[in-house]
Amino acid sequence: MTRRAFEDIWIPLQGRFYRIAFYILENEADARDAVQDLYLKLWNLRDHLELIRNPQSYGSLMMKNLCIDRIRKRFPSDTLKEEMAVKGPPDEDLDLREQLENVRKAMDGLPESQRKLLSMRVIEGLDYSEIEKRTGLSGLNIRVQVSLARKRLKQLL
């Protein structure tokens, strides 16, 4: 794919990709970085992009996956770890550790199925369709269970 063709096809989609990234990452700077990473990947794949029939869908899926990867780097495992805590003054660090411990205890108070689904949704950052594939549950059931888990967690905290 030539530079001109790349610019004609992919550059007009930049705003859409940014909106997807901002929706997922909830941070303007992270969203801009994610879009930049996407365009670097696309440019490196430019020889194969002519085979793509729907650039908007392809790019949107790549954007979503890049954002999920960024979130997973922030939260490296499926459990809340103390490594997630931002190191600061000792009293703030202690408060954060206490908060994490309270969340862990509250999560232990949830039914196993709700704890698992909430962890997949919030900590792993999976979308409902991916959870549906992993668990075999219906999307509606997953949404209801995650909602109930969040409500129960708020009560416990």
pLDDT at 78 exceeding the cut of 70:
no
For the chain, what percent of residues have pLDDT higher than 70? 87
Structure confidence at residue 105 (pLDDT): 82
Q: What is the mean pLDDT of residues 86-112?
A: 71
Residue 86's pLDDT band (cuts 50, 70, 90)? very low
Contacts of 62 (CB under 8 A, 6+ apart): 38, 41, 42
pLDDT tens across 111-156, in order?
A: 888 888 988 888 788 888 899 998 899 989 999 998 898 888 888 7
Distances (CA, A) of 125 to 1, 29, 33, 60, 90: 34, 19, 18, 17, 29
Structure confidence at residue 8 (pLDDT): 93
Q: Are 62 and 41 in contact (CB under 8 A)?
A: yes
CATH of domain 3-74: 1.10.1740.10
Structure confidence at residue 79 (pLDDT): 46
Q: Where are the domains of the chain?
A: 3-74, 82-156
Look at domain 82-156 and name its CATH class: mainly alpha
CB atoms within 10 A of CB 57: 10
Residue 71's pLDDT band (cuts 50, 70, 90)? confident
pLDDT at 100 exceeding the cut of 80:
no
Structure confidence at residue 84 (pLDDT): 45
